[in-house]
Structure 1
Amino acid sequence: MAAGSRHRNADERVRIPRAERVAAMRLRLLEATLWCIVDKGYAATSTNDIVRRARVSRGALAHHFPTKAALVNAAASHLVAKRAEDFEARMAGLDPQQRTPEAALDILWSYYEQPECRALMELSIAARHDSELRALMSTWDDMFIEILRQEGAEYFTDSAAEKSMDVLLRTVAALYDGLSLYDLTRESHRKKIAEVRAFFTAMLIQTTIGESHG
């Protein structure tokens, strides 16, 4: 490689804005946190594991996230926000006649089939014995329900449906949380989950969504 090319490449690296470098490093830390929890569980995940996986220094971690709880909170919030963005994009990508409650529930369940879901499940279980983590979990739940509420507003247009929205959405979240604890790699479990989801969706459409449009 010519000397001029080496200098140009070095200059290009230097020109990367600091804000972009910091954002990229934070993203690596957040993703590494989630995958460490997926692989090892919350209790067994250490900050040393996370910095090794993210390929950052402990000093960089401490600068942005002074405690493990702060890091986990940011990672979980990042995952919820990422799901919200993807959910909105996938719903918007459907033809108008396909934007149904059934489609929304199918998209929502697809996230529970992803490995990252296990990280949130791990955190939910760990929160039972960790008061700081338990307080954070409440924040994530509220954020998740608000995202679902915004999307569900399209199907709940009368005042009665709006009043029941919170209970309905928390019921969906609770059911899907429970179903996700099954071993999703087993075909027998996947079949049972599909049957439960089909029954629940039909019941929901008949008793709630059908009434709101009746």
Structure 2
Amino acid sequence: MSSQAGTVRVPQEERTRAMRARLLEATVECLVERGFGGTSTTLVSERAGVSRGAQLHHFPTKNALVVAAVEHLTDVRAAELEKAAAALPTGPRRTRAVLQMLADHFTSPVFTAALELWVAARTDPALLAAVAPLEQRVGRETHRLTVDLLEADEARPGVRELVQATLDLVRGLGLANTITDDVRRRHRILDQWAATLDAALGATPQEDA
């Protein structure tokens, strides 16, 4: 009897995971296409092909659903970033490749979906309470990854600020991309910033006189 229960439980767990994944992916699609205001739990359940009752069982509120969706996609994108990082070139073009990888991240659907949450959370205390810890975690992880990829020594004066400026830059370029296609301008800016970083990070600190 216990053997039979075991054979039934695994497929059910798989179906549940698949259903949750469909809900989260449909939520991100709605956030990107319709914005936070245009996203509803009813619309998400219809797009995911999941019954309203099942959706409410797993995500009883819209806020719970959208935060879980962005967190899910953020985790997926983080894994993709780690994979892309492993394929980065060495040598003189590495810094530019790191910047391109970060720029691709900040022009991806996960950034657009997260942006919708940031704007909505500004006037929604409950949503802000859920979004703020996620954004803090993502910020720390992205900063750590950038430091590692640039091989930046944050013990040197000004280096931490350069890393933070790098992330602010690519985030700002991602924001601009939500308004208009900004590829050419973005490439020119990243070319110049790569040269700036190479000059700053590669320089040896001067000895005290």
Q: TM-score, normalised by structure 1?
A: 0.77
Match of 2:119 among 112, 121, 125: 125
Equivalence for 1:7: none
Contact 2:28 2:70 survives alignment (8 Å): yes
Residue of structure 1 aligned with 2:184, choices 188, 191, 199: 191
After TM superposition, the structure 1 = structure 2 runs for residues 1-214 of structure 1, keeping only pairs within 5 Å, are 17-97=11-91, 100-151=94-145, 152-153=147-148, 155-157=151-153, 159-160=155-156, 165=160, 167-183=161-177, 189-207=182-200, 209-211=201-203
CA RMSD for the aligned pairs?
A: 2.9
User: Aligned in 2, Cα 1:36/1:159: closer, same or farther, shift over 3 Å?
Assistant: same
- How many angstroms does 1:185 deviate by? 8.2
Question: What is the letter of the counterpart of residue 210 of structure 1?
Answer: G
CA contact (8 A) 1:160 1:212 kept: no
**CA displacement, residues 113-160 of structure 1 (integer Å, 9 cap, x when unaligned):** 334432122222222211222233322322222322442235024633
8 Å contact kept, 1:76–1:140: no
Are the equivalent residues in 1 in contact too, given 2:27–2:69 (CA < 8 A)? yes
Residue 77 of structure 1 deviates from its aligned partner by: 0.9
Contact (CA 8 Å) 2:74, 2:110: kept in 1 or not? Answer: no
- Contact map agreement 2:112 2:178 (CA 8 A) in 1: no
* Structure 2 residue runs without a partner (length 5+): 1-7
How far apart, in 1, do the equivalents of 2:154 and 2:110 lie? 35
Distance in 2, Cα, partners of 1:176 & 1:120: 15
Residues 135 and 43 (structure 1), Cα distance of their counterparts in 2 relative to 1, 3 Å cut: same
Q: What is the TM-score with the length of structure 2 in the denominator?
A: 0.79
1:15 Cα deviation from its structure 2 partner: 8.4
After TM superposition, give the deviation of residue 164 of structure 1 in Å: 5.0
Q: Output the amino acid matched with 1:140.
A: L
Q: Deviations over 1:78-137 (max 9, x none)?
A: 111111100111111345558833322211111233344321222222222112222333
Deviation string 1:13-60 (CA, Å, 9 cap, x unpaired) is x78622211111111111100000111110111101100111101111
8 Å Cα contact 2:103-2:170 kept in structure 1: yes
Q: CA deviation at 1:183?
A: 4.5
Q: Which amino acid aligns with 2:137?
A: M
Give the conservation status (yes or no) of the 8 Å contact 2:45–2:55: yes
> How many residue pairs get matched?
198
